[in-house]
Amino acid sequence: MWCFLVLDVFHPTTTDSSVAVLRGADAAKKKVGFYELKNKKGDFLHQDNELGSCPRVSVIVPDSKGGNRGFHKVIWTVKEHVPGGDSPYVTLYYHSFNGEQGFPGDLDVYVTYQLWSPYDLRVRMNATALNRATPVNLASHAYWNLAGAGSGDVLRHVIQLFASRYTPVNQSTMIPTGEIAPVSGTPYDLRSPTPLGSRIKLVSGAGMAGFDINYAVDGAGKGFRRVALVRDPASGRKMEVWADQPGVQLYTSNWLNNEKGKGGKVYVQYGALCLETQGYPDAVNHPNFPSVILRLGQVYKHNMLVKLSSY
């Protein structure tokens, strides 16, 4: 089994024609919309009616792609590091200053990665708006292949998402339309265990090459809950994803193209899947989406658990 771990941090967010999330190893091949700004000046209207202005910047930690000074290009401070014991962890800290990349307010950000057991990975993210409201949406962008590094694609992986709705996108921009639609009757219906390969062609075309869509996780507002279940029949490995966020982005490494990675292993198209628990993309422009505005004095919290086992 292999995992390539990236943290997407959407404050600030890129200099492209729309805010783009660049996807790890295949970032150079594909750009995926996150915010579509309201006018040519790059202004966005907060959901609390506070107006802010931001250049459109892609920010990823720690990948090499992104904006001119996204979070991937700043120095994070190791606040705590416990390498031993039953649950080793590391906590990283970054202070984003008022006006950085055009975003309003000072922001303190912490991310903790912890091995809760040999097979459980906990990710805890929090951020505090110190003096102004600002959009915040943090997402762990791990690439998973339960069969192991260099084992080919994940199309035989069987996935189940606990999500009855999704947010359709404009396929030319990959930005949500604002609709929260039922998955029933669509190729995006993964409520029952489904091999990814049985749907990959059905969700491809018109600029899409596979899954790259945000799902509205059932039970929003009810705290920590199961988001997804993934099984690999060949290896007998199983992965559960739990989180407390309203959405999850399913991405199937659509633009990987024989990329050589660690140990000389080659990663092919559909060589991994990502399950990014998050707020809804482009929420600042859709009042019907759960708000991603962090107001003065509030603390943003995002808790995620990945449980690995056999079946």
Q: Catalytic positions, please?
A: 141, 276
Beta-bridged to residue 44, according to DSSP, are 52
Burial 176-197 (b: 16+ CB within 10 A, else e): bebebeebeeeebbbeeebebe
192 contacts 129 by C-beta, under 8 angstroms: no
Give every CB contact of residue 202 below 8 A, 6+ residues apart in sequence.
187
Single-letter amino acid, residue 245: Q
The single residue listed with the structure tokens 């800290």 is 93
Distance of alpha carbon 178 from alpha carbon 197, whole angstroms? 28
Quick check: 55 and 102 in contact, CB under 8 A?
Answer: yes
DSSP 205: B
Question: Scanning the structure block, which residue is given the tokens 């990236």?
Answer: 6
Contact call for residues 151 and 183 (beta carbons, < 8 A): no
Confirm if 121 and 96 have CB atoms less than 8 A apart.
no
Separation in Å, CA 120 to CA 63, 114, 239, 284: 24, 8, 10, 33
In whole angstroms, give the CA distance from residue 93 to residue 159: 33
Q: How far apart, in whole angstroms, are the C-alpha atoms of residue 138 and residue 190?
A: 24
Judge contact between 270 and 13, C-beta under 8 A. no
Do the beta carbons of residue 53 and residue 41 sit within 8 Å? yes
